[in-house]
Structure 1
Amino acid sequence: MTLSGTDFLVRDWSMWTLPRPALVYWLVVDLAALAVGGYVLAATAPPNLEELGRFGVIACTGLVVIVITAVATQLSNETRRNPWALHICYLAAGLLALPPNLVLLLLLGPALYGVLGAGPQAHRWLFTLAATTLSVFAARLTVGWEHPSWDFGVLVLGGLVLLMTRAVLVAIGLRLRAPAAGADEVFGEPIDVVLGIVAASTGGLVAIAVLTDPVKALLAGPPMFLLERAAQLPQWRRSAQRDAKTGLSNAVHWDLRARDELAKASSRQRPVAMLLLDLDHFKRVNDKVGHLAGDAALAAVARELRGAVRHGDVVGRFGGEEFVVLLPDTGPGVAESVAERVRLAISLLRVATTAADGHAHLLTGLTVSIGVSTSDRYGYDVSALLVAADSALLSAKGYGRNVVAMA
């Protein structure tokens, strides 16, 4: 392959479609982790046989659990997910029981997982791996670089540094990538925090077992397996509730949330509005640029939509190129203003993506037609509001598209 061909491939990496602040931040985190790894290799003495034995116990226990989990996932036809809690568990054990260079070697676990399952988004797992690397060695510095302290307060502080550093580094990256993302997408849910604490605590117990009787440390396998399975439950729930391409509520979950909000509004006699949006001529994007570009456009519209409404508004994707928004405490005038703001924002979108021919492509000219219905005219029944908004949407299409129509 010629140099120019290599340059072409690098230029078309999907990471270059990140917003510039996110791209710079992700690269800085990656380079910082690389520098820390280089320092650890250069500054740490070669391990002795006892330390290698401890490493073998921790690595083998983690590996066996990962293999068993992978087999269980395959047999049950589940979607393969990142075993992040398991990684935290054996990394926490390693940073307490191993020298820094062997801790670095333990990071091959999440690295290999990323290599085997990264797909076209390799920059994402690389960034997560870099954040994990920095957090592990920040925790090691906290508990003692050469000889970790076993003082209870120091251990608790080290665990907090491990979890918080990783969470903050990743959260900043996610926020820069998608400024309109919800807090649960950036910081996770309370159950994720609990699972992280359990994982780090279990890692501490594994470290104690490794230092006292390495063979007994193998008994940590079943608890680690249960921890890994428990960590999948929030991810399964989120997958069942969210649309995979946009991260918005899917039609079923949106309907449940909308009915709950409408019941509250009805009991308080508060106004509610509904927006039904349809991207204009979206089939042309898929046909001319490619379906991957179409998916990128849908994700960009979803981010713009979330950024244009309030935190408590209920945003969902109905499938295809249709989106829906429920606006609590919103009358007709405000609803029309919100719809106009959304329409204008989408018309100004510039989506960096990759065309079907493999070349970088800047997608512009997206427009949306919006139908608006309100509880003032159609009450608090979700079906009645949807039918009215759909009728208004058809009118907006008939007026020439890129229009807001009130029901």
Structure 2
Amino acid sequence: MFAFAARWALRSEPVRVRLLVVAAELLAVVFVAAGWLVGGGPKGDDVVLAAWLLVLGLVHIEAATGIERVRRRVAATAYFDLSSVWTFAAALLLPVRLSALVVVVLYGHLWLRVWKPAGVPMYRLVYTAATVVLAAHAAYAVVAPVRDAGAGQGLPALGWVALAAAAYLLVNNVLVAAAMALGEGRPSARELVGGVDDHVLELATLCLGVMVALALTADRWTAALALAPLLVLQRAVQVRQLEEAATTDPKTGLLNAAAWRAEAVHLLGRARRTHGSAAVLIADLDHFKAVNDTHGHLVGDAVLAAVAAELRAEVRQDDLVARFGGEEFVVLLPDLPGTGVGRREVLAVADRVRRRVQGLGVPVTTSAGPLVVDGLTISIGGATFPADGQDLESVLAAADAALYAAKDAGRNTVRVAAAPLVPQARAAED
């Protein structure tokens, strides 16, 4: 399995990721093999249920192929497909030897119709299928004793089904997050576990999976009724992801300039109504052209993404961060204290950002081999609302003038409009 995985581009991943991928795949194979050895051949009713789930799942994939291809391209964070409707239903109804068959067939078809056209390496498909097989086994382990005690008729009580769903989610999400965390780069918490909307979506698909399982144990033809709401749900998710993609800078994952301006106008309007204070920072990477000229634009993009991550990590969760264009970033700091206290806070935030960027080393891979891009510096200008401007454009203009003052002062420097220079050393002196 490892040799095949290497040909599937797994070789490009760190050794720790390869070990995790192979371990998960082997564990899934062991559980399935043990199910066949201990459980014997499948029962006739189980085979019929598996066939129903496969037919419904394949019909769903075919009907949703266009939607899923778009979702796969625009998903900026953890990608949740909606096949768990069928795989969770299989986990509730079928022993692992048959639920694994449902998972493998559905994900194989999903790869051919959606993942492969999107350029997803096969090892990711195999690993994803393995995590779902293990999650299905965990869910079945919760409900199987209860079903056996009740002569195997229907589903157990709702509480047991909820525990099975929790086990399914825990195993699947932990394995996926582990692979991302062990990979190269520094994924954010949102990238590792997804956002609230992602988990609401996943919960909704599991609820549909329970309904499908109930229908298959009662009147099997009614299970097909799940297809219509499932397609509507996918369409709604697609619209949300397209809206998010339209407001996001693809290289850094931050807001783009247009989305930032729209939200900044709204926040400054709120500050005006509540007589509050806010601030704008404009940050510009020093000598960024030299990075592109020396190492190429792909390395430059990696540097931009790394700086964006440092900037996002330094400010508060509710602060508004965007890539403003080129190597320039902009931050809106709402809900600041008034007068001199707020201005001192702006200076402190800006200088912490400056220091983080100065200490940053970005590991990249080039044609000449791996290297670390360091020695980066950033110049930052700031201005406050309403002291330095009565609307967004005037505050931006004041912050931009402060940025030029920081560059004129030798770069790697912070200036805030109408404020003294923050005490600091330049790059050569740090």
Instruction: Judge same fold: TM > 0.5, yes or no.
Output: yes
Is the partner of 1:346 in helix, strand or coil?
Answer: helix
Structure 1: stretches of 5+ with no match in the other structure: 17-22
Is the partner of 2:83 in helix, strand or coil?
Answer: helix
Q: Is the contact made by 2:96 and 2:136 (CA closer than 8 Å) also made in structure 1?
A: no
CA apart distance, 1:218: 3.7
Is the partner of 1:150 in helix, strand or coil?
Answer: coil
- Deviation track 1:113-157 (CA, whole Å, cap 9, x = no partner) reads 385156478787776655544433322222227957522221122
- Out of 161-170 and 226-235, give the one that drifted further: 161-170
Structure 2: stretches of 5+ with no match in the other structure: 418-430
1:100-111 aligned at under 5 Å gives the runs 100-108=96-104, 109-110=106-107
**1:271, 1:376 → 2: CA distance?**
6
CA apart distance, 1:171: 5.6
Among candidates 329, 341, 347, match of residue 358 of structure 2: 347
CA apart distance, 1:95: 0.6
**Quick check: 1:34 aligned with 2:25?**
yes
Aligned counterpart, 1:138: 138
- Deviation track 1:28-60 (CA, whole Å, cap 9, x = no partner) reads 753553243022222112435543443232123
CA apart distance, 1:323: 0.7
CA apart distance, 1:244: 1.9
Among candidates 347, 354, 364, match of residue 336 of structure 1: 347
**2:199, 2:374 → 1: CA distance?**
40
**Quick check: 1:192 aligned with 2:198?**
yes
- Deviation track 1:302-341 (CA, whole Å, cap 9, x = no partner) reads 1111111122221111122111111220522221221111
CA apart distance, 1:194: 3.1
1:152-167 aligned at under 5 Å gives the runs 152-167=158-173
Structure 1 residues 130, 37: closer, same or farther in 2, change over 3 A? Answer: closer
Aligned counterpart, 1:20: none
1:4-403 aligned at under 5 Å gives the runs 13=12, 15-16=13-14, 30-31=21-22, 33-45=24-36, 46-48=41-43, 50-71=45-66, 79=73, 84-108=80-104, 109-110=106-107, 112-113=110-111, 116=116, 119=119, 131-144=131-144, 149-167=155-173, 170=176, 181=188, 187-212=193-218, 214-328=220-334, 329=336, 331-355=342-366, 357=367, 359-375=369-385, 377-403=387-413
Q: Is the contact made by 1:249 and 1:316 (CA closer than 8 Å) also made in structure 2?
A: yes
Is the partner of 2:387 in helix, strand or coil?
Answer: helix
Q: Is the contact made by 2:99 and 2:133 (CA closer than 8 Å) also made in structure 1?
A: no
CA apart distance, 1:69: 1.8
Q: Is the contact made by 1:274 and 1:389 (CA closer than 8 Å) also made in structure 2?
A: yes
Quick one: which amino acid aligns to residue 317 of structure 1? R
- Deviation track 1:215-254 (CA, whole Å, cap 9, x = no partner) reads 5534433233223223334323322332222221221222
Quick one: which amino acid aligns to residue 340 of structure 1? D
**2:261, 2:195 → 1: CA distance?**
22
Is the partner of 1:378 in helix, strand or coil?
Answer: coil
Structure 1 residues 175, 327: closer, same or farther in 2, change over 3 A? Answer: farther
Is the partner of 2:348 in helix, strand or coil?
Answer: helix
Aligned counterpart, 1:406: 416
> TM-score when scaled to structure 1?
0.81
Q: Is the contact made by 1:349 and 1:364 (CA closer than 8 Å) also made in structure 2?
A: yes
**1:134, 1:350 → 2: CA distance?**
38
Q: Is the contact made by 2:72 and 2:118 (CA closer than 8 Å) also made in structure 1?
A: no
Is the partner of 1:312 in helix, strand or coil?
Answer: coil
- Out of 165-174 and 315-324, give the one that drifted further: 165-174
**1:383, 1:249 → 2: CA distance?**
18
- Deviation track 1:240-285 (CA, whole Å, cap 9, x = no partner) reads 3322222212212222222232223333333322110111222232
Structural RMSD (CA): 3.6
Bigger RCO (CA 8 Å, 6+ sep) = 1
Aligned length: 390
Structure 1 residues 123, 316: closer, same or farther in 2, change over 3 A? Answer: farther
Is the partner of 1:154 in helix, strand or coil?
Answer: helix
Structure 1 residues 126, 233: closer, same or farther in 2, change over 3 A? Answer: farther
Is the partner of 1:365 in helix, strand or coil?
Answer: coil
State the percentage of identical aligned residues: 35
Aligned counterpart, 1:19: none
Structure 1 residues 142, 307: closer, same or farther in 2, change over 3 A? Answer: same
CA apart distance, 1:169: 5.3
Quick one: which amino acid aligns to residue 304 of structure 2? L
Is the partner of 2:64 in helix, strand or coil?
Answer: helix
Q: Is the contact made by 2:280 and 2:395 (CA closer than 8 Å) also made in structure 1?
A: yes
Quick one: which amino acid aligns to residue 35 of structure 2? T
Is the partner of 1:47 in helix, strand or coil?
Answer: coil
**2:242, 2:187 → 1: CA distance?**
23
